[in-house]
Every structure is written in C-alpha cells, then in structure tokens.
Amino acid sequence: MRYKVLLVLVLVLACFTSFAQDKKFYIFLCFGQSNMEGNARFEPQDTTVDSRLKVLQAVDCPERHFTKDTWRTATPPLCRCNTGLTPADYFGRTLLAHLPADVKVGIINVSVAGAKIEVFEKDQYQTYLSTAPDWMKNTAKQYDGNPYARLVELAKMAQKEGVIKGVLLHQGESNTNDTLWTKKVKGVYTGLLDDLHLKAKAVPLLAGELVNADQNGACASMNKIIATLPQVIPTAHVVSSAGCTCAKDRLHFTAEGYRKLGSRYGATMLALLGYKNVVVD
C-alpha cells in the first residue's frame, strides 16, 4: 500500500515538474497577413536585441541557423526565413523597456501574406487554400498546411515554459469592406482561447489598423470595420496606425512605420498590464 501511495506521489510531482511555468515569461501569439509577417527590410538598428526577448521558431531556416520548435533571441526575422520587420519586433522591445528586469517576453508569429482571415478558420481553411495561388499554398505548407493548427501547436509548447498574456492580430487588407470580418476574427480568437484553455479577460486581443488614411492607405476604409471589433469582442483593443509611414504600394509599412506601430501595440499591452503612463511617440 505504501508503495502505491509513493508511486502516486512521484507521478503527481513529475506531472507538476513537467509543466512548471515561469510566471515571469510572458508569451504573445501573433498572426495575420503580410504586415504581421513583416514586409520592410530590417536595418542594423533592428538587429541588436535584448536576450530577454525570445521567439519560438515556427519554421526551419538552416541558412540562418534557426531551428523550428526552439526558442532563440528575437532578432529579425520573427516570422519565416525571408520575412522582414514586423510590429512584433518593437512590441517586444517596448514591453521590455518598461517591465521588471526579471521578466522575459516570448513571441510566436504564424502569418500568411495575402491571405484572408479564412486561412485561420478551422472549418474554412482547406476550402480557402484549395483555390489559393501556389505561392500562398507554399507558405501554408511551411506551417504543415494548417496555419491555425501550427499556431496552437507552438502555443502549447510555449505554455509549458511561460504564460500566454495576449494575442496580436494585424490582418484585413484581403478582407477589405467585409462586414463579417469581426465575426470571423471572433471565431478564431475564441478558438484559440478554447484550444489553449485560456480566459479572455486574461488574454486580450490587440488588433492594429491598416495603413491609415493619413498615409493614403489603399485599404484604409477597412479601419472603420476594425474600429468596431471591441463591440463584438469586449476584450479586443484597436491600435492606431495614424502617422505610421508606408511603402509606395500603400499597403505595407516602412521600417519606421513598423517601429512606431509595434511600439503602440506595446504601449496598449502595458496599459492592460497596469502600466498606465507609457508614452511611445
């Protein structure tokens, strides 16, 4: 009898040890299309990164010596092998500039350029990808053909080491003027919460505006729909893109624009964490 009790205690302790979380390792899930991937070339100033900022590598990049499913210091690119600067870069830097020195920040970024939000819908992604161009299908293949499932897989890995604190979204160019977009986003967000056993109040959704009308953004009309997201998701918060400079295509931000937008994502998250007076621009 004593042996059985001892065995049970050992198993229980092993279980707790296996899934011990560092409460000071804050994890953030990032998804979207090309702006969340990062479209601008990163510059020398972007490559010096505090080792407390980590990224969980989503794909193998042998030429960069990045190995999927492993944590590394979050030097760009944070999405795939040949993507650029993303809002997540300066989101993480802004957090570390204001959080206590013993807190680490982890980024997970699964994004698909040019894709509608449907690529992240559990019941729609296969239908959507079946008619997608080959280059988009090839991007999805890097996530085992299912970007949403890959995001969840990485998030579950991360939960063994840290605590998921928020979800970052930058998407909408391919859904411009889609009045059902907010409902679709809610479905993806709710799915993440359910699949990862998270509570909405503890894991807010931060959604960035597309290139703003003040920059003559090609899809700026979508920002009116993005603005209504908190009406559908009470724990959603919209991050302004006003004044964030864009590329000639009027769809993507410049490196400077990504830095500013990412810092605003960071300030928004810091306010939700209780740091109310953070000014970033």
For 38-94, write each residue's pLDDT tens digit. 999 999 999 999 999 999 999 999 999 999 999 999 999 999 999 999 999 999 999
pTM over 0.85: yes
The pLDDT, as a whole number, for residue 235 is 98
| Residues above pLDDT 90, as percent of the chain | 91
What are the structure tokens assigned to 136, written together?
């988009």
Which one is catalytic: 50, 249, 263, 281? 249
Catalytic status, residue 50 = no
| Those residues with Cβ within 8 angstroms of residue 270's Cβ, 6 or more apart along the chain or in another chain | 94, 95, 98, 99, 278
Catalytic status, residue 123 = no
pLDDT digits (tens, 9 = 90+) for 161-209: 999 999 999 999 999 999 999 999 999 999 999 999 999 999 999 999 9
d(CA 38, CA 111): 9
d(CA 10, CA 118): 45
Which one is catalytic: 34, 111, 241, 263? 34
Contact between 127 and 77 (Cβ < 8 Å): no
Q: What average pLDDT score do residues 23-33 get?
A: 98
Which one is catalytic: 89, 252, 263, 281? 252
The pLDDT, as a whole number, for residue 2 is 52
The pLDDT, as a whole number, for residue 19 is 52
